[in-house]
Amino acid sequence: MATNNLEQNNVEEVEVAHEITIYAEPIFHVGKFEVTNSLLNSWLTVIVIIILCVALRLKLKKVPSKIQHIFELLLDGALGLVDQVTNDRKISLKIFPLVLSLFLFILINNWLGLLPIVGSIGFYAMEGGHEVFLPLFRAGTADINTTLALSIAMVVGSNIFGIIAIGAWKTFNKYVNVSILGSIFTKVRKDPSILIVAPITFFVGILELIGEVAKVASLSFRLFGNVFAGEVLLASMAAIFLYVLPGPFLFLEVFIGLIQALIFSLLATVYFTIASQDHSEHDEEHHEEKKELAHV
């Protein structure tokens, strides 16, 4: 009886020691490379996406079945949503595979972290002098490293897409507008206002360069903050009321996971669209229109 009481006390201590941490817990090491539970969840997400894509590919038919028809409608609706952002079907078709892949990765990553079966798989380990439970899987988007990597990839990828779409020189001039400074010497006689406009335009380009860094911060912290806050909320509600109260919050987190995946993907679409546009052409057209109005 005494032994059973000690075992029960130990179990209670382990359960109390299990807390949601702001960092991902390490599971094992491969040399100096640390594999965390968030990284394992991201790998599991990729495996789920691969299985889903292969299964759909093997069942494709010229005469679509009900399931294939549903997926075709979803894809068509998603492509239409991207069209509303880009206003150009050619650009939409180029970035749609990337945006859709990003959406699925974030969505499945968010939802896998909410599954009780996935979250309950783990092991006990010694940490800080007491035994704690370490879950084997945790939402990858609840780790700032994952969201930061996704954000950097999107910002860098959008600029690479801009280089492919409009050229390296025009992309560079968006941020360091050397051509506008050079135009001071060629246009100052015809248009003295260039002495004021050129420095302001150059400074705006520097602000856009700073804005690229701000995009990384806003994208990563928005996604990480919402998913991590959801984990803390569910853990807190489960600690207060084990079975009844967490239910509505769980459905709320399912909806939030969908919304966050959609927002991140749409913002990526906006960044790719902006990067593919040549602002210098619009500025020249606007300048010509002002000249015509002045002559009138």
DSSP per residue, 219-260: HHHHHHHHHHHHHHHHHHHHHHSSSSTHHHHHHHHHHHHHHH
Contact 183, 194 (CB under 8 A): yes
Determine how many CB atoms are found less than 10 A away from the CB of residue 10.
Answer: 12
Q: Please state, in angstroms and rounded to a whole number, the distance separating the CA atoms of residues 38 and 43.
A: 9
Residue 138, CA distances (Å) to 39, 41, 142, 229 in order: 8, 6, 7, 13
User: How big is the chain by its Cα radius of gyration, in Å?
Assistant: 26
Backbone angles phi, psi at 35, to 5 degrees: -100, 115
* Confidence (pTM): 0.78
pLDDT at 11: 41
Backbone angles phi, psi at 30, to 5 degrees: -115, 95
pLDDT at 16: 41
Sign of CA dihedral 210, 215, 220, 222: positive
Q: Please state, in angstroms and rounded to a whole number, the distance separating the CA atoms of residues 140 and 146.
A: 6
pLDDT at 296: 46
**Residue for token pair 């150059």:** 202
pLDDT at 127: 61
pLDDT at 116: 66
Which helix H or strand E contains 30, and what residues bound it? strand 26-30
**b/e 141-171 (16+ beta carbons within 10 angstroms → b):** bbbbbbbbebbeebbebbbebbbebbeeebb
pLDDT at 153: 92
Q: Please state, in angstroms and rounded to a whole number, the distance separating the CA atoms of residues 33 and 260.
A: 29
Is beta strand 33-36 parallel, antiparallel or unpaired with respect to 122-127? unpaired
Amino acid code (one letter) for 173 = N
Strand, coil or helix: 206: helix
Contact 227, 141 (CB under 8 A): yes
| pLDDT by position in tens, the chain (length 296) | 444 444 444 444 444 444 566 677 788 888 888 888 888 889 999 999 999 889 888 888 887 788 888 888 888 999 999 999 999 899 999 999 999 999 999 999 888 877 766 666 666 666 666 676 677 778 888 888 889 999 999 999 999 999 998 888 888 888 887 777 777 777 767 777 777 777 777 788 788 888 888 889 888 888 888 887 777 776 666 666 655 556 676 777 788 888 889 999 999 999 999 988 876 555 554 444 444 444 44
